[in-house]
């Protein structure tokens, strides 16, 4: 099983769309930057047929150091979560529409 990387995505854009390699890299970087800026500002990013990236806020809670057993507070934080579309979920599970 292989991993999809920025380089492989840019190469795929180059072969499928016909842009130059440098234009393909620039297009990919622009899309990723747009997504990152939206997520940083708390917006969701929805890609139809693929899924939705969203920022969730996790509240403060207490945790415990497993080595010493000392209780420590875990501060408020934001996490990015991904919810796949039913189309992607079906494709991953081998279902056809």
Domains of the chain: which residue ranges?
Answer: 1-40, 42-96
CATH number of 1-40: 4.10.520.10
Distance CA 48, CA 58 (A): 26
pLDDT of residue 96: 66
- pTM for the model stands at 0.77
Residue 51 bridge partners (DSSP) = 47, 84
pLDDT of residue 95: 82
Phi, psi of 66 (to 5 degrees): -65, -25
The CATH architecture to which 42-96 belongs is: Irregular (4.10)
pLDDT lower than 50: segments of the chain = none
Strands (E), 1-97: 45-47, 51-58, 61-64, 71-74, 77-84
């Amino acid at each position: 099983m292989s991993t999809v990387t920025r380089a492989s995505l840019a190469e795929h854009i180059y072969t499928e769309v016909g842009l130059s390699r440098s234009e393909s890299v620039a297009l990919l970087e622009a899309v990723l930057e747009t997504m990152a800026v939206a997520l940083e500002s708390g917006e969701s990013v929805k890609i139809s047929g693929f899924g939705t990236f969203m920022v969730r806020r996790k509240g403060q809670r207490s945790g415990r150091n497993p080595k010493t057993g000392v209780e420590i507070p875990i501060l408020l934080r934001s996490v990015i979560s991904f919810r796949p579309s039913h189309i992607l979920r079906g494709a991953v599970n081998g279902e056809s529409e």
